[in-house]
Amino acid sequence: MTENHETPDRALGRPRATTHDVLAEIGVELFTRLGYENVSVQQIAEAAGVSRRTFFRYFPTKADLPWGDFGREVERLRGELALMPDDIPLMAAVRQAVVDFNRVPPDAVDQHRARLGLILTEPELIARSLVKFLDWRRVIAEFTARRLDLDPTSFVPELVGEVALSAAVAAYRQWIPSPDTDLSTFIDTAFAAIVDLDRLEQGVAAQLTAHLSTTPVHASARTPAHGQQHRITTGTATLHEENADETR
Amino acid sequence: MTENHETPDRALGRPRATTHDVLAEIGVELFTRLGYENVSVQQIAEAAGVSRRTFFRYFPTKADLPWGDFGREVERLRGELALMPDDIPLMAAVRQAVVDFNRVPPDAVDQHRARLGLILTEPELIARSLVKFLDWRRVIAEFTARRLDLDPTSFVPELVGEVALSAAVAAYRQWIPSPDTDLSTFIDTAFAAIVDLDRLEQGVAAQLTAHLSTTPVHASARTPAHGQQHRITTGTATLHEENADETR
DNA sequence: GACTAAATGACACTGGGTGCCAAAGCAATG
DNA sequence: CATTGCTTTGGCACCCAGTGTCATTTAGTC
């Protein structure tokens, strides 16, 4: 009930006065324009032509607004993972699924950046993010657990979930303030870097940094469709390869 | 000012009526006994013989209580990192520093477990944890940046900070509900697992799980003093070695 | 004893979030 | 067309977290 999926059937009783999306849009607009703390729920409700009380029937918290229907998104991630063939190594599958999950249509990129910017900038929203990502992490952990035949709450699955989230968040943070960069590339690189973490040396890291900050959105960094093809099937892509590709 | 360091000098003006530690202790006790939401700041203040207003002069937020003086702890982490010789590989140094940082005297283990249990269980405290750990992560990132001669806000340093936090949190979560286990071992193993993430196979992961859940606190899992000696100096400890050690 | 510095306590106020209940609005039924 | 059933809304009262303000307390110092 926390995340209503806007049941499209329902035709009984008093009609709804608004939607999650409308409230979210109004809210994000006000937040980015006036600052999160300077906008009260009262204002958002009024702007949407709804009572304050009703707002809290759509969103349990003011801080949940920028997340929209995140429960739906989490299910999408679950779907991405379900599409991964069993013959792909675990981390390669997670990596690919997270990359696919974070692909947004070009015309929605700016809005997406604004949302993530809000979420990872405003302290109260940063706080909320961890709670929100609990389910996201659990999906990764469950996938890992299934693959390795372990309990989803055991060490390795939880660790993989945690690490995957790390990769995503670190990538978000770098991507947000950098227009004309590709989120997928950041995420993919983050996973590659994690796998090769123990080989970190000055030269490698520096080149990686340079590589990212100057790489525009280009075809080679995007997978064609949506999980059918797998650019990375061996799970052996490393920092060195990334750099070899750059310093050719 | 958010985290007062209980300046021991000061002998002017009206004396303090309480301390951070006293409030924290009372608060944690009430939280664990009655539940976080069922305890108001009013109650805590009364129990400490202080006005509600004064409580908020010691802690900016109710959710900050279980953290005590975390700013001091972060500085301790910085200290641990500063002790690491330059000839130790980056990740090995981070790993060792985080392990050392999380070492608590035996008589304080139960209390520490209670605190972490609260922090990682109660939603509102979970939320606060991310904000709290921002500084913690930054310390790791700054260390990494210094080592690699990069900007602390660039990709690799932030990623290392994020990943290190992942390791710690995943370890906490496994350690909390398991009395008679050693936190250091969990953290150390988490780092080892991350470095070897791409080699994850069924057998390895399962053995790792079994290994951890049955390993009591024993001497070999603890480093003698405090950063002088380094059990892991090569940075090449892997899941396989951990298991080789176990399946001997 | 007057002065100064620092902390406390009381009060008022804002805003988030919840419980409760009457009223609104639409569909189906008769 | 009026009634009934169902669901959502809106208004109200209320609790609690957190903040700004200011007088008051309690020391040490001159």
Section A72-93 average pLDDT: 95
pLDDT (0 to 100) of residue A159: 97
* Contact between chains at A195 and B197 (C-beta distance less than 8 A): yes
| B149 contact residues in A (CB cutoff 8 A) | 202, 206
A44-64 in b/e burial notation, b at 16+ Cβ within 10 A?
Answer: bbeebebeeeebeebbeebbb
CA B68 to chain centroid, in Å, comes to: 13
On chain C, which bases lie within 7 A of the protein's CB atoms? 4-12, 14-20, 23-28
Residue range B71-109, pLDDT digits in tens: 889 999 999 999 999 999 999 999 999 999 999 999 999
Report how far apart the first and last C-alpha atoms of chain B are (Å, whole number).
53
Residue A208 forms contact with B (CB below 8 Å): yes
Q: At what angle do helices A109-119 and A20-34 cross, to 10 degrees?
A: 70
Half-sphere exposure of B158 (CA within 13 A, CB side): 18
Return the half-sphere exposure (C-beta side, CA atoms, 13 A cut-off) of residue A149.
8
Kindly report which listed range (B25-39, B55-69, B209-223) carries the lowest average pLDDT score.
B209-223
CB atoms within 10 A of CB A216: 9
Closest chain A residue by Cα to residue B133: A127
Span between the terminal Cα atoms of chain A, in Å:
53
Name which of B131, B193, B195 is nearest A126 (Cβ-Cβ): B131
Q: Which residues of A touch B156 (CB under 8 A)?
A: 193, 200, 205, 208-209
- Residue B90's closest CA among A224, A149, A56, A199? A199
For residues A33 and B86, what is the distance between their CA atoms, to the nearest angstrom?
Answer: 47
Positions on chain D within 7 A of a protein C-beta: 5-13, 15-21, 25-29
List Cα–Cα distances, B179 to A192, B126, B182, B198, in angstroms. 36, 21, 8, 30
**Separation in Å, CA of B74 to nearest CA in chain A:** 19
Interchain CB distance below 8 Å, A129 and B130: yes
Q: What helix, strand, coil percent values describe chain B, rounded to 5?
A: 65, 0, 35
Query: What is the C-alpha to C-alpha distance for residues A83 and A228, in angstroms, rounded to an integer?
Result: 8
User: Tokens 């809290």 map to which residue?
Assistant: A56
Task: Note whether B131 contacts A127, CB cutoff 8 Å.
Answer: yes
Task: State chain B's maximal CA–CA distance in angstroms.
Answer: 65
CA of B53 to C1' of D24 (A): 15
The answer on pLDDT for A227 being more than 50 is: no
Q: Is the pTM of this model over 0.85?
A: no
User: How big, in percent rounded to 5, are the helix, strand and coil portions of chain A?
Assistant: 65, 0, 35
- In the 8-state DSSP scheme, what is residue B15? P
**Any CB–CB contact under 8 A between B166 and chain A?**
yes
Interface test with A, best of B129, B137, B162 (most A CBs within 10 A): B162
Contact B197, B204 (CB under 8 A): no
Query: Which residue of B86, B129, B134, B155 is the best one to mutate when testing the A interface, meaning the one whose CB has the most A CBs within 10 A?
Result: B155
CA atoms within 13 A on the CB side of B4: 17
Contact criterion met (CB below 8 Å) for A99 and A226:
no
> Is the model's pLDDT at A236 over the cut of 70?
no
Q: Is the CB of A28 under 7 A from strand C?
A: no
Is the pLDDT assigned to residue A111 strictly greater than 60? yes
Contact B166 A165 (CB under 8 A): yes
Nearest chain A residue (CA) to B63? A127
- Residue-wise pLDDT for B124-136, tens only, equals 999 999 999 999 9
Interatomic CA–C1' length for residue A53 and nucleotide C21, angstroms: 13
Rounded, the Å distance between the CA of B14 and C1' of D30 is 18
Q: CB–CB of B91 and A198 under 8 A?
A: yes
Nearest chain B residue to A95 by CA: give it.
Answer: B198
Question: Residue B14: exposed, middle, or buried by beta-carbon count in 10 A (0-12, 13-18, 19+)?
Answer: exposed
Nearest nucleotide over every DNA/RNA strand to the A60 CA, judged by C1': C17
Nearest residue to nucleotide C23, by CA–C1' distance, is A14
Nearest residue to B84 via CA among B146, B30, B131: B146
Q: Read out DSSP for A145-172?
A: HHHHT--TTSHHHHHHHHHHHHHHHHHH
Q: Which has the closest alpha carbon to B95: B5, B213, B195? A: B195
**How much is the average pLDDT of B181-210?**
83
pLDDT single digits (tens) B101-160: 999 999 999 989 999 999 999 999 999 999 999 999 999 999 999 999 999 999 999 999
Rounded Cα distance, B92 and B24, in Å: 34
User: What average pLDDT is seen over chain A?
Assistant: 84
C-beta separation of A116 from A176 below 8 A: yes
The CA–C1' separation of A182 and D23, in angstroms, is 59
B157/A170 Cα distance (integer angstroms): 10
Buried b or exposed e, range B193-222, using 16+ CB within 10 angstroms? bbbbbbbbeeebbbbbbebbeebeeeeebe
A208, B156: Cβ pair inside 8 Å? yes
